[in-house]
Structure 1
């Protein structure tokens, strides 16, 4: 497939948090996918409207109108994870998603959505989110079937149950995790050279002792979970007042821009959105 106008909607994962980039602060899976697409069409124009912390209602109100105005022929819109970790009513989330996805389907563009990784396997207390996560993933499968969207099944990818695919906050992918997500989207789109092995597990590591795992979980709670809970109680988000990093369609790689493959690959340590 060859696309000419690619627009990404979403939250911190699509913004690219914890995948450092010298130009836009963060790179992320959608930028990485755009770079793969541009190998097949160097004239590809790309906009990324995703902002950390945004829930489905905010994406519908703040990002959807701008995306539709750009008349894209490729749209990525995996939405809803902030609703899962927040206090959103899942019936309301379903209604908002249906509104967003029905409008995207009406554009005639190719639309990519995803299931979401099994956070029960990667974050302490993740089991408390399991029912909402499974409900959201079932919605994503249903919407993909109903509207003919391309679905990337992140939930079934073994690599995304490995902490090496995640940043220290365990809610945002590491550079490796973002790369695997981009590869999964490329494969789902049928891009030449894309591999079906994008979700394969990493080589095993020595199993840590229970004490070391408990110590790491405690450190995570102090460093990341507590600040996130305080922000939520205050009704704040890291995305408040933050504009999208690429609000308009521009060439994926502009003249003089460094090869993104040369960007830093540290995992970062940002707090959850």
Structure 2
């Protein structure tokens, strides 16, 4: 398949948080940019929109991005949402899946190829392990939705590479540059698109003493977990002041 109009929808996962690039809009690159660039390399007429905004929950993503994307007439859509819902104190996963199902149905009805994702398995991350059951239930719902609508599924849960901490950024919530590169490869492979992307070289895992591990954990709490919790308590999102990276058809970043 050749895709000429690729629309990326979602939250921080799709915006590219964790893959820092100050030269790009919102200061990040991300797997969707990398996919778009690979598609453009194969076909120079390819254009790209990325409507994703960090911090968005599922309903705002659907309300703000799905109809906007349909109006643009893409032939390829990727959508990832629900992660921010799962991190809230309580969540109705059945209701979440119903909203997702309706959105995927509307997107596939346009004739576009639609790619969706399961959540990842947080079992290897101590800070998020307690939420593993929620992630697993939504993962199975996403597999059912993909089957129902004949969508392309990237089963993030089963990509065991992500048990490696080096595929995650400092905040342990977003992928690193290496993680985004790996996801771009997974998406292109799921689509059956030839590409020349390779896994990024990883630095050796550091051998940390117990004291160093404790200091690292404290740095994470003060540098990420504390500010993140503070925003939740204030009803503030990290994406409140941001606009989509590429709201109109654009040449993918090179």
TM-score of the superposed pair, with normalisation by structure 1: 0.85
- Residues 51-85 of structure 1 show CA distances to partners (whole Å, capped at 9, x for unaligned) of 00001100111111100101110000021111111
2:240: which partner in 1? 240
Partners of 1:186 and 1:194 within 8 A in 2: no
1:11-90 superposed matches below 5 A: 11-21=11-21, 22-24=23-25, 25-86=27-88, 87-90=90-93
Structure 2 Cα separation of the partners of residues 149 and 38 of structure 1: 22
Structure 2 Cα separation of the partners of residues 98 and 241 of structure 1: 29
Partners of 1:115 and 1:155 within 8 A in 2: yes
- Residues 71-120 of structure 1 show CA distances to partners (whole Å, capped at 9, x for unaligned) of 11000002111111124321221121112111111111111111222223
Structure 2 Cα separation of the partners of residues 169 and 206 of structure 1: 17
Partners of 2:38 and 2:195 within 8 A in 1: no
64-73 or 217-226, which deviates more: 217-226
1:131-170 superposed matches below 5 A: 131-170=133-172
C-alpha RMSD over aligned residues = 2.1
Find the residue that maps to 1:77 and give its secondary structure: strand
Partners of 1:10 and 1:49 within 8 A in 2: yes
- Alpha-carbon shift at residue 12 of structure 1 (Å): 0.6
Partners of 2:152 and 2:191 within 8 A in 1: yes
Structure 1 Cα separation of the partners of residues 46 and 209 of structure 2: 49
1:105 aligns with 2:108: yes
Find the residue that maps to 2:157 and give its secondary structure: coil
Structure 2 Cα separation of the partners of residues 184 and 208 of structure 1: 31
- Alpha-carbon shift at residue 23 of structure 1 (Å): 2.4
Find runs of 4+ consecutive structure 1 residues off by over 4 angstroms.
Answer: 201-204
Find the residue that maps to 2:156 and give its secondary structure: coil
- Residues 120-161 of structure 1 show CA distances to partners (whole Å, capped at 9, x for unaligned) of 312x33122111111111111111111111111222222211
Unaligned runs of 5+ in 1: 254-259, 261-273
Structure 2 Cα separation of the partners of residues 55 and 141 of structure 1: 20
- Residues 175-227 of structure 1 show CA distances to partners (whole Å, capped at 9, x for unaligned) of 110000000001111112468x97xx979736544443333223211211111
Tell me how many residue pairs correspond in the alignment.
251
